Amino acid sequence: MGRTSASGRSNAVRRARLLAELTQAELAAGAGVTRQTIVAVEAGDYAPSVYLALAIAERLGSTVEELFGQTAASPADEARKDA
């Protein structure tokens, strides 16, 4: 099975990872993938499977919708909205 292209689609994974103070390697280990996969997801070059998106969201204390939704609002934006 080949890689799925995300056509450079933006997402909030990098912002959420930085807010969580995790390295790409730490997020990858927590999600059960390689660091290179996280690099590709953050760059929008790889569309993760539902299972991987759920694992990333769980590790970042977020939701798939927050990380990969159409608007991909950052976790900081969500925190401000709740305040």
> Is CATH 1.10.260.40 what the domain over 13-82 is classified as, yes or no?
yes
Question: Would you list the domain boundaries of the chain?
Answer: 13-82
> Which residues 6+ apart lie within 8 Å of 11 measured at CB?
41, 42, 44, 67, 68, 72
- The better pLDDT of the pair 77, 38 is held by 38
pLDDT tens, position by position, 12-23: 999 999 999 999
- The better pLDDT of the pair 72, 46 is held by 46
Integer angstrom CA distances of residue 70 from 16, 24, 29, 56: 16, 23, 26, 17
- Name the 3-class secondary structure at 19: helix
pTM of full prediction above 0.85: no
pLDDT tens, position by position, 28-58: 999 999 999 999 999 999 999 999 999 999 9
